[in-house]
Amino acid sequence: MKRAAEVCDYFPIQLEDNSWTTPLTLAHDVKPDLRVLFKMFGLAAVRCEHSGDSRLNKFESQSLPMIAVGRCPNSNGIQFYNPCDGTFTLSIDYRFQHNVTSGTHFNLKYQPGVFLYRLDETNSVFSPKFHLDTQVHVHTHSPPSMAKIIGLPSYHKPDVYTVVYPDGSISEYTDDLLTAVPEILTPSSSSLLPNWIKGGVNATLFLNSMSKPRHGVLKLSTQDEWSFYPGKSTSGILLPDFSATCQKLLDTGQ
């Protein structure tokens, strides 16, 4: 929202004397610098000379892919987000990769929420009947065909969904021709862990034996053993008896 306000300050407005200016000029008496505009959430290669405490040598990659999320408040640099470890970086040494989107590179999936539409001169709240990746039956033939939702309704087509069939073909249908496939519920064993703790969830670990917090992923093995994998590491830190010690780790900030 901060970045959206910054960009809106550059939008031209017309005054009563028919002259054109910008909110930035009116407030600060300076002209907009178009060099500070950039592609929000764009993928960029950010220069990085160190990996942890060690300096990279000339044969190693000198940059990391990150996502541009805002301007640096204290310099001409840009603030970047690294989804691999959940950290933010300020840098003036970067290069945007215009041929690849950040979502594609990091395999990020858009999670739809509540959509605001302006219909019939009133503000209405629209919540889609089906969410992305929902398995549905398409009732155009008998028996109905199985498909998956890959596109949600738009402002101009408020009831049309895009689906993909198992053979890869794509079609659009109105919601009256679609029904959600009921999920098969499997009995789950009782657990002492909070419901947000599950295999593959992002977490930050700061054990008393560690010098600094580490960002990574919690993983559950087939033997009911929990491990924490920091960053991109393939070797995990075993968390013995995690179900019993989890609440203590949360309470003590670990």
CA separation for the pair 44, 50 (Å, rounded): 18
Q: Is there a single domain that holds both residue 162 and residue 220?
A: no
Q: Is there a single domain that holds both residue 11 and residue 45?
A: yes
pLDDT for 222: 64
CB atoms within 10 A of CB 155: 10
CA separation for the pair 245, 225 (Å, rounded): 13
Please state the separation of Cα 51 from the chain's center in Å: 24
Q: Give the residue-averaged pLDDT of 35-53.
A: 82
- Could you list the residue range(s) of the whole structural domain that residue 212 is in? 202-251
The answer to whether residue 187 scores a pLDDT higher than 50 is no
pLDDT for 122: 47
- Answer for the pair 163, 150: CB distance below 8 angstroms, yes or no: yes
Looking at the domain assignment, is residue 208 inside a domain?
yes
pLDDT for 85: 84
CA separation for the pair 41, 51 (Å, rounded): 24
The answer to whether residue 98 scores a pLDDT higher than 50 is yes
Q: Is there a single domain that holds both residue 101 and residue 148?
A: no
Mean pLDDT of the chain: 81
pLDDT for 217: 86
Looking at the domain assignment, is residue 110 inside a domain?
no
Looking at the domain assignment, is residue 34 inside a domain?
yes
pLDDT for 136: 92
Which tens digits make up the pLDDT trace of 79-91?
999 988 888 888 8
- CA angle, 229 as apex, 207 and 201 as ends, to 5°? 95
Which tens digits make up the pLDDT trace of 45-90?
998 876 666 676 777 777 889 999 998 878 888 999 998 888 888 8
pLDDT for 121: 46
Give the predicted TM-score (pTM) of the model: 0.42
pLDDT for 232: 77
Looking at the domain assignment, is residue 122 inside a domain?
no
Which tens digits make up the pLDDT trace of 207-218?
888 888 888 888
Which tens digits make up the pLDDT trace of 114-138?
555 555 544 455 577 888 888 999 9
Q: Is there a single domain that holds both residue 167 and residue 207?
A: no
Q: Is there a single domain that holds both residue 97 and residue 15?
A: yes
Q: Give the residue-averaged pLDDT of 25-30.
A: 91
Looking at the domain assignment, is residue 186 inside a domain?
no
| Number of structural domains found in the chain | 3
